[in-house]
Amino acid sequence: MGSSYYQFCPVAKAMELLDERWTMLIVRELVTGSQHFNELRRGVPRMSPTLLSKRLGQLVRAGIADRHDDDGDVRYTLTSAGRDLQPVVEALGVWGTRWIGEIGDEDLDPKLLLWDIHRNIDHDAVPVGRTTIHFDFPGTPAHSRHWWLVIAAGQADVCDADPGFPVTITITAALRYMVRVWRGDLDWRTALRSGDVTITGPEELRRSVPQWFTLSVFAPVARPVPSASRRDGQITS
């Protein structure tokens, strides 16, 4: 539920609804456009379905989301109040981008990365016809090392098994580097020049590959100047 702070301050009233674990991530997913239960789940894979269900119920009761059941086709959408949370999500993302650059190994989830990437393909930049991109993350455990992105007809599908189509382009990179590129911590040019990310395939395509992907919306956020001494860090206690 999010128990009360017993304050009339609007920040407190807002946090009563929003400060529970996972809640803002679900709002983020809804802002991003996910609507179906299992679609939402993919954005918060470590959350149990029970808890997701509970949180969605809370968001509906709070007037932030609506549940539409059109004959078995259930969708969750944001209400106007929910849509108005976008600035909050953005402010959080900007802050997180600026001040939490250190990502732990446990945070590097390839499935989540592919899920993000597939939602942000620039279909106008990708060649017409079917394009199959093979991602190879050396250093990542075998079962999640290889991924395929099949792009066709303005649609993109993620596969964790070889779909069998001829591979157009292969992108090879330690998962961490690919994530850094996605987040905008590292730009394509630098990553490619240093060899931390490698693109394999026909010369004439290779150059345009970076344009196929629209990176994280937070990628363009200006990083703080690395001042004299700063302590970064997660809360560890």
Partner DNA sequence: CAGTATCCCTTATGATACTG
Partner DNA sequence: CAGTATCATAAGGGATACTG
- Classify the phi-psi angles of 116: left when phi > 0, otherwise alpha if psi is within -120 to 50, otherwise beta: alpha
Minimum Å gap between C-beta 11 and a second copy is 5
C-alpha dihedral, 70 to 72 to 78 to 81, nearest 10°? 70
Q: Does 13 participate in binding DNA (rule CB under 7 A)?
A: no
Q: Which is nearer to a second copy, 29 or 151 (CB)?
A: 29
**Residue closer to a second copy (CB basis): 57 or 127:** 57
Name the residue with tokens 């299992």: 38
Q: Report residue 136 CA to chain centroid gap.
A: 19
Report whether 64 contacts 27 (CB < 8 A): yes
- Under the binding rule (CB under 8 A), the answer on residue 92 touching a second copy is yes
**Touching DNA, residues 59-78 (CB under 7 A):** 67, 72-76
Evaluate whether 162 touches 146 at the Cβ level (below 8 Å): yes
**Contact residue for a second copy among 39, 109, 136, 187 (CB under 8 A):** 109
Q: Which two structure tokens, joined as six digits, stand for 226? A: 């690395």
Q: Is 229 in the site for a second copy (CB under 8 A)?
A: no
Helical residues (DSSP H) of the chain, grouped into ranges: 10-18, 23-32, 37-43, 49-61, 80-83, 86-99, 110-118, 175-183, 188-194, 203-206, 209-212
Stretch that binds a second copy, among 98-106, 118-126, 158-166, 199-207 (CB under 8 A): 98-106
Among 37, 165, 188, 218, binds DNA (CB under 7 A): 37
| Residue carrying structure tokens 């690919």 | 178
**Which 39-78 residues touch a second copy, going by CB under 8 A?**
44, 46, 54, 57-58, 61-63
- Cβ 66 to a second copy, closest distance in Å? 9
Residue 83 touching a second copy (CB under 8 A): no
Q: Does 125 bind a second copy (CB under 8 A)?
A: no
Q: How many residues bind a second copy (CB under 8 A)?
A: 77
Q: What are the residues binding DNA (CB under 7 A)?
A: 1, 3, 20-22, 36-39, 46-51, 53, 56, 67, 72-76
